[in-house]
Amino acid sequence: MERSFDVVVAGCGVAGLSAAVSAAERGLQVAVLERASREERGGQSRFTEAYLRMKAIDEVSDDFETHLAENVGPYVDPDMTAEMGQDSESWSHITRSLAIPDSGLIGNFADQVPGTIGWLQGLGVKFDFLPTAFLTSTQPRLLPVGGGEALVEALAARAEALGVTFFYNTTARRLILDDFGKVEGLLGQQQGKGGVRYMGQVVLASGGFEGNPELLAKYLGPRSVYLRPVCKGGYYNRGEGIEMALEAGAAPCGEFGSYHAEPVDPRSGISEPAVFIFPYGILVNKSGKRFTDEAPGTVDAYYERVTRRIYEQDEGIAYVILDEGVKQVPNYRLAIRTDQPAIEGATLEALGKKLGLPAGSLADTVENYNASCPSDGKYDPLNVDGLSTAGLVPPKSNWARPLTQGPFIAYPIISANVFTFGGLKINANGQVLDADGLPMANLYAAGETVGMYYTNYTGATSVLKGLVFGRLAANHIADSTS
């Protein structure tokens, strides 16, 4: 069976829906293939709070472009970096085909954000600077009122009103190519039924591969068994969009062996049961030992790096240890998103026993930590206060306050996989590039199917990446067919 459209979109999160709505607004006939049912549509977008790295409704943060540019890959050849600062028409083949996002893409990304937010406002989405889980932060976060679900529902309603055709319970399996390798459409398979050929220009917006244990083991290694998606929507993201494009000759981009890490309570089944309270206590592993600086700076800037250290521990788990003093931190509950209760002990020995730690290990660790805490200086829980330990390895750089006020409490923490970093290389129009750095005809990508991040995620840009490049892809298709 074959169906023909102008645009075929794989994925129904904010990236796919932005592409679908934008294309339909330009008069194109659009199909959306969604693995989930209508009720569960939206992938991870439905579950996220959708933090946006913006200092105003029409301005991105001051470091938006620089942070992205500084994290496009370690040890890039300086000659190639210099070459990328010149007009792209003059780039050598090897520079053009580097597996990193270029400055033109990053610049266009930033430039398109305000217009994209204005477009969403026109669809009825409201935005505000709402409270976040970060009690200390370096960058502002704008949020859609109602989170990612509000974005999904507003975009889906607009798509339906424009006549976009949705194919639910349908998985995109592979690209359909002509005899010369040109993309002509997608082969989709309805669950429990046969395949259908969906012909048209293709936008891949089906997320990363955080829901695929085989690809996680392949790229992240065997320890990935200790990871889980940050929300249930992540289980839908199995990497087919990335794999089918790579098989067709697309260029990879982003760090395939890494992912965006978030600290969560493994006991909870809710979406994003984050535990960001660890700067006000200490972290210990299953041996009852500290292993990292819990408070190198503001939690929004450093939680990912701390979470990666948790992932490296035995069985990928750690415990944040707190005392009654944490309740003196203003709004401390905002930093604890789990729905599970704290584990409590009247003494450190009792708490350690409940956590299954070696006898006496927790008490010894806390005693050594307490002895290293400063006896002077001002404790300021809502600002980086410089209260650091002395002679302790590893150190604690801020908020080093002794843990002495029982009862003592703990929360288990593992690293959640919010999304994988590896994906496809695109240009500033959202066109997928081939291994030689040239656009592949009729093939586009948006959202986490696009590889952009290395080593350190530029926080609160992933939802924007989906929204912006979905629109750019659709508008480029419309412009090229008009």
> What 3-state DSSP class applies to 160?
helix
Partners of residue 197 on adjacent β-strands: 2, 187
Residue span of the structural domain in which 326 resides: 261-416
pLDDT score, position 229: 97
27 pLDDT above the threshold of 90: yes
Which CATH number characterizes residue 278's domain? 3.90.700.10
Let me know whether 460 and 391 are in one domain. Answer: no
- For the residues 384-411, what does the mean pLDDT come to? 98
Let me know whether 99 and 236 are in one domain. Answer: yes
482 pLDDT above the threshold of 80: no
Which of 369, 385, 416 is the C-terminal boundary of a domain? 416
Is 74 or 26 the better-scoring residue by pLDDT? 26
Let me know whether 253 and 266 are in one domain. Answer: no
Let me know whether 79 and 218 are in one domain. Answer: yes
Let me know whether 13 and 112 are in one domain. Answer: yes
Let me know whether 252 and 121 are in one domain. Answer: yes
Q: How far apart are CA 476 and CA 187, in angstroms?
A: 23
pLDDT score, position 430: 98
Which residues, 6 or more positions from 138, have their beta carbon under 8 angstroms from its beta carbon?
A: 297, 298, 300, 301
Let me know whether 238 and 294 are in one domain. Answer: no
272 pLDDT above the threshold of 90: yes
Q: How confident is the model at residue 245 (pLDDT cuts 50, 70, 90)?
A: very high
pLDDT score, position 441: 97
Let me know whether 157 and 173 are in one domain. Answer: yes
Handedness of CA 305, 310, 313, 319 (dihedral sign): positive
Which of 416, 432, 467 is the C-terminal boundary of a domain? 416
Let me know whether 119 and 191 are in one domain. Answer: yes
Let me know whether 10 and 145 are in one domain. Answer: yes
* Number of domains making up the chain: 2
356 pLDDT above the threshold of 90: yes
Eight-class DSSP state of 104: H
Let me know whether 105 and 250 are in one domain. Answer: yes
pLDDT score, position 85: 82
The predicted-structure confidence for 64-122, as pLDDT tens digits, reads as follows: 999 999 988 888 888 888 888 888 888 989 989 888 898 899 999 999 999 999 999 99
Let me know whether 291 and 378 are in one domain. Answer: yes
Contact assessment for residue 459 and residue 53, using Cβ atoms and an 8 Å cutoff? yes
Which residues, 6 or more positions from 267, have their beta carbon under 8 angstroms from its beta carbon?
A: 338, 340, 412
- For the residues 441-463, what does the mean pLDDT come to? 96
Which CATH number characterizes residue 82's domain? 3.50.50.60
Which of 401, 416, 431 is the C-terminal boundary of a domain? 416
Is 276 or 81 the better-scoring residue by pLDDT? 276
